[in-house]
Structures are given as C-alpha cells and as structure tokens.
Amino acid sequence: MLLHVRARSTRLNPDRLFGQVAHRLAVAIITGASPAGALLPNEDDLKGEISVSRTAYREAVKFLSGKGLVEARPKSGTRVAPREAWNLLDPDVLAWHFEADPNEKLIRDLFELRLFVEPSAARLAAQRRSATDLQRIEAAFRGMVENPPYAERTVTADLAFHEAIFAATGNPPLQCLAPAVCATIQWSLFLKAPDDRFFFTASLIDHERVLEAIVQRDGELAAARMSGLVIDSLNSTLRLLAGRAEANASKIA
C-alpha cells in the first residue's frame, strides 16, 4: 500500500539526485528490506545498483545518519541503525513511514502522542496566545469552514489550525512536535477523503469548540475540548482503517 501523502515540511529536495538516493535508501530501511545491522551497498559497488556517483551517495547517507537511520563507521561499513535509534518524530522519517508502511500500530501510537501533547498545547495556547496568534488560529478555522470538505485547501487549513495552536504556546521545543502531529492528521484525512460528510461536520464542531475556548482564554476548557477532538479523530480514523481491513479481507476471500 504505497501512499503519496506529501509531507508538509520536508527537508529533502526530491529534485536533487542525493535526495532521490536518500529517499530510496530510507524506504528500503523503513520497510525492512534492509534489516537493522545490514550493510548498505558498498560505496563503490553502488555504481552497479544505482547509477550515481560516490559524492551523491555519501551525501544521502550523511542526511540519513542525521536522522538516526544509518550509522557509518569508518572501514567497517555503513549499517542500518536499530529501530530505536530512528528519529520517528522527524518530518521526513514520518513521511517515509507513511509512504512505506502505514500500519495501524503507527497510527495508534501517533494518536496516543497527540492525545498527550495537543491538549496541553491547547491549554498553553489559551493562556498565552497573543492577538496575532489568535488571528492565525481563527484564519485557519475559517479556511476549514469556507472550503469544501476534504479539499486540498481544507486540509491545509486544518493543519494550519493545529500548527497555529502549537505556535501560540511560545514553547519552541513543544512546537517541534507540530510537524509530527500535522503528518498524522494529514495521513488520517487522506484515508477519509472520499468518505461521507458526517465526520467532517463533527470535526468542524470539535475545532470550533477548541477555538472558542482559546478565545475565552480558558486553558482547562481548551485542553478538554482538544482531547475530545483528538479522540473523535482517532475513532473515526480507526473505523476507516477497520473498514479497509474488512474490504481487503473480503477481496482475498
């Protein structure tokens, strides 16, 4: 199941050659085609596998090593790092994951993480938001209302809504979780795209209630409502995943 959900803020330029190499290697690693501890194709041999110079290859490896996916030790070879070392919160790594192996466990784990951080972020946002923070959140919400359900611009607005809340916390390390959260949302919305409007309306109401709490500067209320939003979103996403699994099962039978 290969999905092409483009990451919102990827650091990898796919136009560049090294970027393509990095992408190929990353997908191979994440799918498990190259298991942990496996040696990557030798820097000289790789000419045969993929026609690319050592320079481009090495730069790709450096890029991946920064994300913990590979581990290059002099002379002994470049090895795939153990899964624990991967930076699963990195936007690129997350995007590759969704592309390569978007299993339910990952979705659940990410929603779990959302459930831990987004309500807290909403609380802080309600307490600390500046006027411009609020404008940004409101503008994003309007974008969700004024565009058709599941349209490109609606999704963008949804992501902007959540990102703006993180931004309003004034906590840069916390804000670094925004890309991961957005990637999760984006992927779950992608699943729903062709679905009926019921969830969309419900989600809209959830968002509005969070916004309202932030307007009122009511931190606890904002946190509680954000919890509700995330839980609703998780439930509908899981239902769709179950539907998919069912469809696949019947297709096999």
Partner DNA sequence: CTCTTTCTATCGTATGACTTTATCCGCGAA
Partner DNA sequence: TTCGCGGATAAAGTCATACGATAGAAAGAG
Question: Which residues of this protein are in contact with DNA, per CB under 7 A?
Answer: 13, 15-19, 39-40, 42-44, 47, 51-56, 58-59, 61, 72-78
Query: Applying CB under 8 A, which part among 138-146, 166-174, 202-210, 224-232 lies near its own copies?
Result: 166-174
Q: Which two tokens stand for residue 137?
A: 């959140």
Pick one of its own copies, DNA, none as the site partner of residue 180 (Cβ within 5 to 8 A by kind).
its own copies
Quote the least distance from Cβ 45 to DNA, whole Å.
Answer: 7
Nearer to DNA, 3 or 39 (CB): 39
Nearer to DNA, 37 or 148 (CB): 37
Number of residues binding to its own copies, judged by CB under 8 A: 45
Give me the helix-helix angle, 131-146 and 198-215, nearest 10°.
Answer: 160
Q: Which two tokens stand for residue 29?
A: 């690693």
Nearest to 183 by CA among 109, 110, 108, 233: 110
> How remote is the C-alpha of 1 from its chain's centroid?
17
Q: What x-and-dash track marks residues 87-126 binding its own copies by CB under 8 A? A: xxxx-x-------------x--xx-xx-xxx--xx--x--
What burial class does residue 129 get, using C-beta atoms within 10 Å of its C-beta: 0-12 exposed, 13-18 middle, 19+ buried? buried
Question: How many Å apart are CA 239 and CA 251, to the nearest integer?
Answer: 18
Length of the chain: 253
Question: How many Å apart are CA 160 and CA 186, to the nearest integer?
Answer: 11
Residues 168-207 that bind its own copies (CB under 8 A): 171-177, 180
Which of residues 24, 47, 58, 128 is near its own copies by CB under 8 A?
A: 58
Question: How many Å apart are CA 123 and CA 207, to the nearest integer?
Answer: 14
CA distances from 54 to 47, 60, 79, 117, 151 (A): 8, 10, 17, 42, 42
Quote the least distance from Cβ 37 to DNA, whole Å.
Answer: 12
Quote the least distance from Cβ 244 to DNA, whole Å.
Answer: 37
SS3 43: coil
Which of residues 53, 65, 127, 147 is near its own copies by CB under 8 A?
A: 65
| Site for its own copies contains 66 (CB under 8 A) | yes
Nearest to 136 by CA among 170, 159, 165: 165
Pick one of its own copies, DNA, none as the site partner of residue 89 (Cβ within 5 to 8 A by kind).
its own copies
Amino acid at site 8: R
Judged by the rule CB under 8 A, the positions of this chain that interact with its own copies are: 9, 11, 16, 18, 55, 58-59, 62-68, 71, 74, 83-90, 92, 106, 109-110, 112-113, 115-117, 120-121, 124, 167, 171-177, 180
